[in-house]
Amino acid sequence: MASQTVTKHRQIGLTDEQVLEMYTIMLKARRYDERALLIQRSGKTAFHISGIGQETAQVAAAFALQKQHDYFCPYYRDYGVVLSAGMTLHELMLLSFVKAEDVNAGRQMPAHFSHRKHHIVTGSSPVSTQVLHAVGIALSAVMDQEDRVAFTSFGEGSSNQGDVHEAFNFAGVFKLPVIFMCENNQYAISIPAHRQVAGRVVDRAAGYGFPGVRVDGNDPLEVYQAVKEARERAVRGAGPTLIEAMLYRISPHSTADDDMIYRTKEEVEYHKEQDGIQKFRAYLLECGVLDEELDRSVNEEVMRELNEATKYADKAPYPSPEDALKHVYAEDGGGI
Amino acid sequence: MENEEHGTEVTLPHLAESLVSATVGRWLKQPGDYVQEYEVLCELITDKVNVEMPSPMEGTLTRILVQEGDIADVGAAICLIRGSDSANETPVEPAKAATQKKDKDEADQRTRYSPAVLSLAEENRIDLRKVQGTSLGGRISRKDVLAYIMNNLDSKPAASPESKPEEKAAPANRVVPENASDSRTEERKEPAASMFTAEDQIVPVSPIRKMIAQRMLQSVSEIPHAWLMIEADVSGLVALREKVKESFAAKEGVRLTVTPFVLKAVVNAIKEYPMLNSTWAEDNIIVKKDIHVSIAVGSEESVVTPVIRNADRKTIAGLAIEMEELIAKARNGKLTLSDMQGGTFTFNNTGSFGSVLSVPIINYPQAAIITLESIVRKPVVVNHDSIAIRSMANLCLSLDHRILDGKICGLFIQRVKQYLEKYDENTVIY
Amino acid sequence: MSMLKTGVAYKMAIMTYLEAIRSAMSEEMERDENVFVLGEDVGKGGVMNATKGMRDRFGERRVLDTPLAESAIVGVAIGAAMVGKKPIAEIQFADFIFPAANQIISEAAKIRYRSNNDWQCPIVIRAPYGATGGGGLYHSQCPEAVFFGTPGLKIVAPSSAYDAKGLLKAALRDGDPVLFFEHKKCYLYVSDEVPDEDYTVPIGKAAVKREGDDITVISYGMTVHHVLKAAEEVQKEGISAHVLDLRTLQPLDVPAILEAAAKTGKVMIVHEDNKTGGVGAEVAAIISEHKLYELDVPIMRLCAPDVPAVGMAPTLEKFYLPNADKVRDAMRLLAEM
């Protein structure tokens, strides 16, 4: 651990323990994702939507925020975000298997995250609605004069929704403490980014009067640094920041999609080689935070946790049928 | 599903939202192979995705149920795997919900009459207190009333011990239920052995045939029939029909027969002699205000009598069109109960079967029935002493002699004849 | 008035429906610092004057002028509500609520359910609706039926100042999203007694506005006043009308509807929204499900015709809108049937 480059994480304020934890969570997200596909293909679950190729940016962004203090309004590929914010593989597997113990009690599709204790805001399938919620949460932080920020993410396809632009403008006008992160994974289902977005997503920030930063999403330290700076701006009252993390969606859009209809195997293979997790592993090995033996034990521990989570969720009971009628309204009438 | 010998059924997964089936591509495992959980079993090909299917369990593949290239439905078993005990546990089912207790309305529903029941009862003069309700809480349903009407037709009112005087005073109109066999429960009687030989054909009596038989019996046994016939010169009518029938068919899409012309003449005469349009009610004769003419529509098996309502308010053309509709419905078995209820007088074109003389049985409880016999071209004396070839037709009238006598019926049928003979090529049919 | 039932003498003031709404907001903002208003032009008082003077009293943060973007107004309110605020999102005209429909139907209505009660979304969306004269297609609509039948939402539509204040306070103390439809014609046309003391009108409870035994008329919003006026007129002819004001459209007060329907067996439903798929259709269905045998005649509906919205010309508007004369004629017919 000699050169300046290999100790970059310390320079930007990350400890060895933190980067190791980041690496562990990236692995958890990746292994969960692979397992979720297998259980869907074997007929045990109905659906999976993948975040493979985006874990580095997701974990890095979440690590630049304060757990159980700042709020997370993630989108449906953000396994890395929610695992960093406090959700466990156990909880994610219950969500995949839609069992009674799942945070949503089997009501939502997998990847529709929610966890109030961890400040992970409940999400839905219509894209980008959460971006406005983040602005509302930021507004409440300003009203209460609290130093918390709201983080929200979305794809480049979803960045075309009116809600995103209404959110940018609202947050820009009131200089609200929001961090908008576009995970530009190059595809909106089958449509490549150049056919989906006119200009660059990052440049849109300028139109709303706040800074936009484009980062290499496969470089967790770069992402971490950008989000950290955005958070500092936000809490000092300087307003929102848009971060565009450049990534590549390795998997098809979802288990119901055949990506070979609209892109080539060679293209996918090329991007697999750019895998941010492998690069981060190499960095950690290089700077001595990780060695082969530790790596093996980290991987084994992740697999052990994943296997237990899968087994448990597979066997856990489904919700009772009549649970369908619960929680439409507050049971006590919601008197406040 | 467990199969002790061969193991657990592995089913075709629901690969994407809208998929209902998949084609099995290559099997990557063969019977006898040991398979790890999530190890690839086979390829699956669909419209949306082509995938390798991982095994949902660990164990020995014992049998392939869907061969390469064959299509299986989502949820169908594609192979059997005999698992080790630990890998073979099935997911826990949700706690069984307490059996939902139906909040049955225990209140007495016997006197809750729906608008449908009330109108049916009213139309058929049913005392609903006598009808057995079979629905929830003893409620009388529409079907219960229909069943009651059917049973009532089966037994002669006079012999019915529970029949009340008021019921006799107002006999039920005849009703042909839409589905006659439904309501009939009595057992079929086998014919006595002495009645037939081995060569004879035994034709079981259909419910509708049986109903017709009972009605006819009721009519002839209760109504003292009298009969008379008249011959009318319908040459003008025939000429008129010849003149307009093609343009009428082109314009209305309906065949113009002689019946509506005759029907119009009959209805005009009924208006002048309303006693023909009445019913016997023991102490009273009920003279009906509305003229609803039942039209006999025959087939090889049966005869039904759909009703043209307010026939007196309709033109010849109107009668022709409505008749065509009713006949079509009768032929297609589409007549409803309401199509057949409420007739006050019956017309039957027996001439269409080639008959020149018939003795019709009154459609109970009406007062009279008239038939039109075949139109025959024959020489007749005209203008005192000349002979001409004219189109002639007989009309036969059966009447309830309790209500009607020869005099009034003679006047009535003469009036029909006059109306018929008044037709000429200039008569307006609209 | 319902206070009489309690036997307690309250101090009363006559106020307009509009003042009642303003005083409900002001009192709740006084009572709970988490309550705030956001919407277009609310700082200057709003285009309807509902928030007049409130910015001076509570500051521009709690009477927040937003950019002109309805989805943002509701979406931001939802975000704030999820973390403990009690936002009042004002939609300038109910006709402009549709850009926010996704936030209302996909988000607000489903947040509690989809998260298995982990999150809640206690927002109030105020939407001035209905025709006042000269509003044309886009300043006159009654969009309640679009949201009606969305479980998870509560929908109220008061007809009196008393109910407007009591229901708005109840909405602001409710744990679930409430769509608060304020009839624009009621704002200044309707004045009644409102107590000085704090009170609420429970959401989900209808009110009998008039006892009668010949016919039952069920309505809500501005048409309640047409119904009451017509009821007075037909009373002179000896027709006694029983009038039920739904007040809350979702959840409907089913026991009150059934009781009112059974009372006379002759039911008419009156609303300004068009007939097909309107609230009246559901009310009629509820009655026929439960009270078929107590109905004397078929249920009657008097509603606006099934055309896209009210026309601008006075002739078109008069033809389109229910009024006391139309209600009176329909009442006579119902009584005669």
Q: What is the pLDDT of residues B274-304, one digit of tens each?
A: 999 999 888 888 899 999 999 998 877 778 8
pLDDT (average), residues B25-30: 92
> Is A23 one of the catalytic residues?
no
Q: Is residue A301 part of a domain?
A: no
Which of B207, B237, B265 is the last residue before a domain boundary?
B207
- pLDDT reading at B172 higher than 60: no
Q: Which of B15, B28, B79 to mutate to test the interface with A (most CBs of A within 10 A)?
A: B15
Per the structure block, which two tokens stand in for B105? Answer: 């309305």
Containing structural domain, residue B37: 2-85
Per the structure block, which two tokens stand in for B192? Answer: 């006595």
Hey, which CATH number is domain C207-336, 3.40.50.2300, 3.30.460.80, 3.40.50.920, 3.40.50.300?
3.40.50.920
| Whether A198 contacts chain C with CB within 8 A | no
The ranges of chain C annotated as CATH 3.40.50.970 are: 10-195
Spot the catalytic one: B70, B105, B290, B405: B405
Spot the catalytic one: B6, B33, B225, B401: B401
% of chain C surpassing 70 pLDDT: 97
* Count: domains in chain A: 1
- pLDDT reading at B164 higher than 50: no
- How far away is chain C from the Cα of A218, in angstroms, using its nearest Cα? 30
Which of B162, B177, B207 is the last residue before a domain boundary?
B207
Question: What is the pTM (predicted TM-score) of this model?
Answer: 0.73
Q: Is residue A44 part of a domain?
A: yes
Q: Is residue B218 part of a domain?
A: no
| Whether B85 contacts chain A with CB within 8 A | no
The verdict on a CB contact (< 8 Å) between A333 and C152 is no
Q: Pick the residue from chain B with its C-alpha nearest to C290.
A: B105
Please provide residue A175's backbone torsions phi and psi, each rounded to the nearest 5 degrees: 45, 55
Residues of C in contact with A98 (CB under 8 A): none
Clarify whether residues B146 and B259 are in a common domain. no
Clarify whether residues B41 and B172 are in a common domain. no
Spot the catalytic one: A119, A253, A271, A283: A253
Hey, which CATH number is domain C10-195, 3.40.50.970, 3.30.300.30, 3.10.20.600, 3.20.20.70?
3.40.50.970
| Whether B92 contacts chain A with CB within 8 A | yes
Q: Is residue B108 part of a domain?
A: no
Question: Average pLDDT, whole number, for chain B?
Answer: 82
- pLDDT reading at C90 higher than 60: yes
Q: Is residue B429 part of a domain?
A: no
Q: Pick the residue from chain B with its C-alpha nearest to A101.
A: B94
End-to-end CA distance of chain B: 74
A-C CB pairs within 8 A amount to 158
Rounded CA separation A55/A78 (Å): 8
Containing structural domain, residue A152: 5-286
User: For B412, what's the count of Cα atoms within 13 Å in the CB-facing half-sphere?
Assistant: 27
Rounded CA separation C281/C326 (Å): 19
Structure confidence at residue B196 as a pLDDT band (50, 70, 90): low
- pLDDT reading at B186 higher than 80: no
The ranges of chain C annotated as CATH 3.40.50.920 are: 207-336
Residues of chain A below pLDDT 50: 1-2, 335-336
**pLDDT of amino acid A162:** 97
The verdict on a CB contact (< 8 Å) between B15 and A321 is no
pLDDT (average), residues B180-209: 61
Q: Return the minimum-mean-pLDDT range out of B165-179, B342-356, C135-149, C182-196.
A: B165-179
Clarify whether residues B274 and B313 are in a common domain. yes
Question: pLDDT for B92-122, tens place per residue?
Answer: 555 554 444 444 444 678 888 888 899 888 8
Q: Which of C115, C117, C167 to mutate to test the interface with A (most CBs of A within 10 A)?
A: C115
Q: What is the DSSP string of C228-266?
A: HHHHHHHHTTT--EEEEE--EEES--HHHHHHHHHHHS-
Answer whether C182's CB lies under 8 Å from C125's CB: no
Question: pLDDT for B343-355, tens place per residue?
Answer: 999 999 999 888 9
DSSP code of C221?
T
**pLDDT of amino acid B158:** 39
Q: Is residue A291 part of a domain?
A: no
Residues of B in contact with A320 (CB under 8 A): 94-95, 97
Clarify whether residues B412 and B355 are in a common domain. yes
- pLDDT reading at B180 higher than 50: no
Neighbours of chain C (3+ CB pairs under 8 A): A, B
The verdict on a CB contact (< 8 Å) between B48 and A256 is yes
Question: Where do the DSSP E strands lie in B188-272?
Answer: 225-233
Burial (CB < 10 A; 0-12, 13-18, 19+), residue C327, is buried
Clarify whether residues B30 and B177 are in a common domain. no
Rounded CA separation A150/A152 (Å): 7
The letter for the amino acid at B282 is E
Clarify whether residues B237 and B357 are in a common domain. yes
Answer whether C47's CB lies under 8 Å from C41's CB: yes
Q: Which of C289, C293, C297 to mutate to test the interface with B (most CBs of B within 10 A)?
A: C293
Burial (CB < 10 A; 0-12, 13-18, 19+), residue C65, is middle
- pLDDT reading at C324 higher than 50: yes
**CB-CB: which of A71, A124, A138 is closest to C114?**
A124
Q: Pick the residue from chain B with its C-alpha nearest to C297.
A: B115
DSSP code of A120?
B
* Count: domains in chain B: 3
Q: Is residue A320 part of a domain?
A: no
Structure confidence at residue B157 as a pLDDT band (50, 70, 90): very low
Structure confidence at residue C128 as a pLDDT band (50, 70, 90): very high
**pLDDT of amino acid B9:** 94
Spot the catalytic one: C139, C225, C226, C242: C139
CATH assignment at residue A277 = 3.40.50.970
**CB-CB: which of C72, C107, C175 is closest to A330?**
C175
- pLDDT reading at B163 higher than 60: no
Rounded CA separation B112/A276 (Å): 75
- pLDDT reading at C27 higher than 90: yes
Question: pLDDT for B358-379, tens place per residue?
Answer: 999 999 889 999 999 999 999 9
Would strands A178-184 and B278-281 be described as parallel, antiparallel, or unpaired?
Answer: unpaired
**CB-CB: which of A134, A169, A330 is closest to C69?**
A169
CATH assignment at residue B415 = 3.30.559.10
Would strands B368-382 and B345-348 be described as parallel, antiparallel, or unpaired?
Answer: parallel
- pLDDT reading at C229 higher than 60: yes
Clarify whether residues B256 and B404 are in a common domain. yes
Q: Pick the residue from chain A with its C-alpha nearest to C79.
A: A133
Rounded CA separation C177/A46 (Å): 31
Residues of C in contact with A143 (CB under 8 A): 36, 61-62, 80, 85
Q: Pick the residue from chain C with its C-alpha nearest to A119.
A: C83
| Whether C82 contacts chain A with CB within 8 A | yes
Q: Pick the residue from chain C with its C-alpha nearest to B113.
A: C293
